[in-house]
Amino acid sequence: MVCMNCGANAEKGFTTDVTDVGDCLIIVRNVPCYKCEKCNEVLYTADVVAHLEKIVEMAKQLMQEVSIIDYGKVA
């Protein structure tokens, strides 16, 4: 995959996604991504974005101050 930021090659890998939603900080670990070799830009596929949105909505309903979730362990 090509980085949309700088045009360099982006390799498959994993990252940690952090979402701040008001009073709640949602941390999702082991998120599959493409990471640019040059600028470290992180790119997600559409299915990963959809799954992350589902995880964030679920975590918001729990109303915890901080939620740490493993991407691969959420159906």
pLDDT digits (tens, 9 = 90+) for 5-59: 898 999 999 999 999 988 889 999 999 999 999 999 999 999 999 999 999 999 8
In-domain check, residue 43: yes
User: What does the block give as tokens for 32?
Assistant: 């599959």
In-domain check, residue 5: no
In-domain check, residue 39: yes
User: What does the block give as tokens for 70?
Assistant: 């493993």
Helix (H, G, I), strand (E, B) or coil at 62: helix
Provide CB contacts within 8 A for 36, sequence distance 6+: 3, 5, 6, 8, 9, 10, 42, 43
In-domain check, residue 17: yes
In-domain check, residue 3: no
Cross-strand partners of 69: 28
Please say whether the beta carbons of 17 and 52 come within 8 A.
Answer: yes
In-domain check, residue 4: no
Model's pTM, two decimal places? 0.84
Please say whether the beta carbons of 4 and 38 come within 8 A.
Answer: no
Domains contained in the chain, number = 1
Note down the domain range covering 47: 10-73
In-domain check, residue 2: no
